[in-house]
Structure 1
Amino acid sequence: MPVALVTDSTASLPGAVAEARAITVVPLQVVIGATSYDEGVEGGATPEMLAEALREWTPVSTSRPNPEEMLEVYERLAVEGATEIVSVHLSADLSGTFESAQLAARRAPVPVHALDSRQVGLGTGFAVLAAADARDAGGTGAEIAEAARTRARATTSLFYVDTLEYLRRGGRMGAAAALLGSALAVKPILRVEAGRIGPFERVRTSGKALGRLEELAVEAAGDAAVEVAVAHLASPDRATTLAEKLGVRLADGLEGREVAVGEIGAVLGAHVGPGMVAVCVAQRGARSVPVEGAAPESSEENAG
């Protein structure tokens, strides 16, 4: 294991996939009522627990892993034989997880390439899987980090929410925008752009919103080879229907790959609420190009 891969639980990688690809997943925490749970571990918070808590207006909050927890992971991987580590995380504009990775990287016993994917959820997950491909092909730490960065830049993440209230509560959406959406009784489609969540379109019904997600995903894919995933919180039927339609329309670009469908974890779910449906389209083999409006490159490597 000359180069080890690390990500966080918001990347939404199934446990079997992370294990098969030798990816270490660091959990974030969700607090439901007075109890704190790790995400993505046995006995931790589940999407079902979260959805029920949100419906019942039970207080819910989330927290990042602290730098000491990240450092323990890096030190363990070094003991197990890693000579470099690539650590890929959700957007620093949405969480302090990347900052924890940066701080831990400075004290790690081996070089750590800490990378802000500028994405969230499956957008980060696709970047990590691209890094795994580059590692398995024999890439150096720097090359593996660049593969993750390139895939993240070539990824479009869009989602529909029944209400903007949960994003407002969590500080991921301005109060004015949330109130405007509620006052107009619109169904918002949002987009992750330059690491931030912002309004993209407004439609009048949930049916139209899901139809627009389908069209926007097809536009994002273009004629490229793609990986596509659909995520949801407490909305499996709508997510499955969308995935089936995209599987047909994007069959050529998928090249035999399936459109993955899954429920997002409790940490992301706390900020979007029940009824959310997201689609993530990652172009394969894309060149590394700057993202318009993006912040300066957010990565850090320690000296070992």
Structure 2
Amino acid sequence: MPARSIVVVTDSTASLPAELAAERGIVVLPLQVIIGADSFDEDAPEASPERVAEALRDYRPVSTSRPSPAAFVDLYDRLAKSGAKQILSVHLSGDMSGTFESAQLAARDASVRVMCLDSRQVGVATGYAALAAADAVGRGASVEEAADAALARAQATSSFFYVDTLEYLRRGGRIGAAQALLGGALAVKPILTITDGVVSSLEKVRTSGKALARLAELAVEAAGTKPVDVSVAHLANPERAEALTESLNAKLADQLGGREVWCSEVGAVLGAHVGPGTIAVCVSPRR
């Protein structure tokens, strides 16, 4: 555990590479993935995105579970024993998961001061918020200033994603404001976004090829002319994800400033709710 006076905690849906989280001193608590009757931490090999995609295709039951308040209390107390005086706990939207609620409940019983932040985002957009908090702490910011930095970055970040079917979002109850699309879902390829912490419908296109092109256009529009970090994520759709990544590396070369678009498979928890074939792009302005 890091020996710092202020420690940033997030959850595994933030999709931060383990090396990057360690480098920035961010501590990650995993959610659980349940495949059939077996429950695994999201970072366990048994809960890989590939296994989730296979289970979904085979119509095996796949669900997810938040960390318990007790798991958060245990983590917070371990950090306190390692020297943490204050903790900033940054999590995915409370409207999409009970993770933030678990963190809040645990904060009341923790042996150290814990400030909890609902990023109102999902996936790597929450990760960018946690990174902003860690960077602020590294510059000597207070926990309140770090929380402000995280929230500002989360609010400035745009997420867009295409799903082959809304069925998986419907099953998990995460469809939010995109509910109205269900009636004609077979006839369209929906492009979705996150609006105030919930999934909402942005546009409808007729083919997956048009969806991919539109994701690139939306990412370029969101980036504008400012410096940004960009990530592409997918579940069991590597060829299209790589094509989108190459396109954005070229289109946003100036805004990326020599950095590369991240491209990875979406985490198992998010993958369980969006389903195979999903492509997502996240654009986050750098502060």
Fold shared by both chains (TM-score > 0.5) = yes
1:78 corresponds to which residue? 80
2:238 corresponds to which residue? 236
Residues 1:172 and 1:55: Cα distance change in structure 2 (over 3 Å): same
Distance (Å, rounded) in 2 between the aligned partners of 1:191 and 1:164: 13
1:11 corresponds to which residue? 14
Q: Secondary structure at the match of 1:81?
A: coil
Q: CA deviation at 1:176?
A: 5.2
Q: Secondary structure at the match of 2:28?
A: strand
Q: Secondary structure at the match of 2:64?
A: strand
Distance (Å, rounded) in 2 between the aligned partners of 1:84 and 1:240: 40
8 Å CA contact retained: 1:6, 1:24: yes
Summarize the alignment of residues 192-203 of structure 1 with structure 2, pairs less than 5 Å apart.
Answer: 192-203=194-205
Residues 1:122 and 1:110: Cα distance change in structure 2 (over 3 Å): same
Distance (Å, rounded) in 2 between the aligned partners of 1:72 and 1:83: 15
Residues 1:79 and 1:194: Cα distance change in structure 2 (over 3 Å): same
1:122-165 CA-to-partner distances (Å, cap 9, x unmatched) read 11011111111111111111111111101000000010000000
**TM-score of the superposed pair, with normalisation by structure 1:** 0.91
Residues 1:245 and 1:58: Cα distance change in structure 2 (over 3 Å): same
Q: CA deviation at 1:178?
A: 4.9
8 Å CA contact retained: 1:181, 1:187: no
1:34 corresponds to which residue? 37
RMSD: 1.2
Structure 2: gaps spanning 5 or more residues:
none
Q: CA deviation at 1:106?
A: 1.2
Summarize the alignment of residues 1-304 of structure 1 with structure 2, pairs less than 5 Å apart.
Answer: 1-41=4-44, 43-173=45-175, 177-183=180-186, 185-285=187-287
Instruction: Specify the code of the residue in structure 2 equivalent to 1:225.
Output: P
Structure 1: gaps spanning 5 or more residues:
286-304
Distance (Å, rounded) in 2 between the aligned partners of 1:241 and 1:75: 44
Q: Secondary structure at the match of 1:106?
A: helix
Q: What's the % identity of the aligned pairs?
A: 62
Distance (Å, rounded) in 2 between the aligned partners of 1:172 and 1:86: 26
Q: Secondary structure at the match of 2:229?
A: strand
> Structure 1 stretch 51-60 or stretch 20-29: which is displaced more?
20-29
Q: CA deviation at 1:219?
A: 0.4
1:219-239 CA-to-partner distances (Å, cap 9, x unmatched) read 001111101000000111111
Q: CA deviation at 1:44?
A: 3.9
8 Å CA contact retained: 2:181, 2:201: no
Instruction: Specify the code of the residue in structure 2 equivalent to 1:10.
Output: T
Distance (Å, rounded) in 2 between the aligned partners of 1:98 and 1:271: 18
1:52-95 CA-to-partner distances (Å, cap 9, x unmatched) read 00000001111100101001000000000001101100000000
Q: CA deviation at 1:181?
A: 3.5
8 Å CA contact retained: 1:163, 1:182: yes
Distance (Å, rounded) in 1 between the aligned partners of 2:196 and 2:29: 24
Higher helix share: 2
Q: CA deviation at 1:265?
A: 1.1
Distance (Å, rounded) in 2 between the aligned partners of 1:18 and 1:173: 29
